[in-house]
Structure 1
Amino acid sequence: MTHLVFFCGHAGTGKTTLAKNLHGPLTKASGTPFCLLDKDTLYGGYSAAAMAMLTGDPNDRDSPLFLQHLRDPEYRGLLDTARDNLELGVSALVVGPLSREVRERRLFDRAWLGVGAEVVIRVVWVYTSEETARQRIVKRANPNDAYKLAHWDEYRQRRFVPSGAICDDLLMFDNTAPASADYQTLLARIVDEPQAAAIMPPVPV
């Protein structure tokens, strides 16, 4: 049995760090190897080259042009890579905002994902306050965030916290200042084994 685990959420919420912290414990708890597929790692260089050619700004990841023409192909390639690994018996941790897909419940749609009933799907929504996220974005000083910071009022309109029916089966994780017990609980919910929390090592907080 393989697992397809999504770590979704807006910029600055700590999705990649969370996925990396859980990689080893998930591998041990599930008994299956995991690959880590981070959208920025897989497509950052390609998108930088494309945007430099199109607009002269290699760090643009939030303009209407990028969102209209490059966003969806990036995500499709990310999911295609995950599916290739699943077919080889390798579980996948997929990291990316995927906010539209969460809102539209696509990550629970096996036909849209192209995966069978034998794949365990878990979707984690990683969140923190707007101010905390902005502070983290400023601190990490990633050039790809320049557009967000320069157009914050525009960008913040895209931020949301899932609610209502969107939250069905969604694993919500407040990543503002999580304790080790919070990581343990999330691990157990991902693998659906309460005893799995016992193998989660302490995580620096």
Structure 2
Amino acid sequence: MVERLLISLGSDANDRHTELYMKEVRPLEYRCLMETAWDNLNVGTSAILSAPFITELRDEAWFTRLENRCAAKGIDVAAIWVRCDPESMREYIEFRAAARDAWKLANWDEYVAGLDVDNPPATAHLTVDNRLGAAISLADQTRDALKRILT
């Protein structure tokens, strides 16, 4: 959907950094993701949303609205902050080899300057350490996080 919308707006299908993407496309992309989650939750199907939510989780009011909307429906919500350093992130992005990451890799210093990897969101969250060489494997951390969420 994102790629087709970008093309229809005269942009590159892999754009994830321009103002057009950030102001026009990303909000629609995330709204569709949230609406899909609500559709599932409304019929009793659990949902795990896998997206950065960087902007949203830094906005305490956004997260409070989400928590309130979920609470009104008897739904538990948990945010997971995936901690990662720029060096590990670059390796993961290079390995992923996704066309949408070409700008990030070509403009690494600019991309990293826009990240805040050292400060987790102020909202309630669990942390998973995704840095290369983390003391506990990502799989074990994920299992632990899911146990905490589900209990």
TM range (shorter): 0.7 to 0.9
Same amino acid, percent of matched pairs = 32
Structure 1 unaligned runs (5+)? Answer: 1-45, 194-205
Matched, 1:185 2:141: no
Matched, 1:83 2:38: yes
Matched, 1:148 2:107: no
Match 2:129 to one of 168, 174, 186:
174
Residue 168 of structure 1, CA deviation: 4.3
Q: Separation in 2 of the partners of 1:150 and 1:53?
A: 25
Q: Separation in 1 of the partners of 2:86 and 2:114?
A: 11
Q: Separation in 2 of the partners of 1:128 and 1:162?
A: 9
Who is 1:129 aligned against? 85
Who is 1:24 aligned against? none
TM-align CA RMSD: 2.2
Q: How does 1:97-108 map to 2 (within 5 A)?
A: 97-105=52-60, 106-108=62-64
Q: Separation in 1 of the partners of 2:52 and 2:99?
A: 17
AA in 1 matched with 2:108: W
Does the Cα contact within 8 Å between 2:84 and 2:117 map onto a contact in 1?
A: no
Does the Cα contact within 8 Å between 2:78 and 2:125 map onto a contact in 1?
A: yes
Q: 1:60 to 1:163 in 2, by over 3 A?
A: closer
Q: How many residues align?
A: 145
Q: Separation in 1 of the partners of 2:4 and 2:123?
A: 38
Structure 2 unaligned runs (5+)? Answer: none
Q: Identify the structure with the greater strand proportion.
A: 1
Q: Separation in 2 of the partners of 1:135 and 1:86?
A: 35
Match 1:118 to one of 64, 74, 80:
74
Q: Separation in 2 of the partners of 1:168 and 1:68?
A: 23
Residue 114 of structure 1, CA deviation: 4.0
Q: 1:59 to 1:163 in 2, by over 3 A?
A: closer
Q: Separation in 2 of the partners of 1:163 and 1:84?
A: 32
Residue 162 of structure 1, CA deviation: 6.5
Matched, 1:158 2:120: no
Does the Cα contact within 8 Å between 1:107 and 1:123 map onto a contact in 2?
A: no
Q: Separation in 1 of the partners of 2:77 and 2:11?
A: 39
Of structures 1 and 2, the one with the larger relative CO (CA 8 A, separation 6+) is 1
AA in 2 matched with 1:63: T
Residue 181 of structure 1, CA deviation: 4.0
Residue 157 of structure 1, CA deviation: 2.4
Residue 48 of structure 1, CA deviation: 1.1
Who is 1:33 aligned against? none
Question: TM-score, with normalisation over the residues of structure 2?
Answer: 0.83
User: Partner of 1:95: helix, strand, or coil?
Assistant: coil
User: Partner of 1:119: helix, strand, or coil?
Assistant: coil
Matched, 1:70 2:25: yes
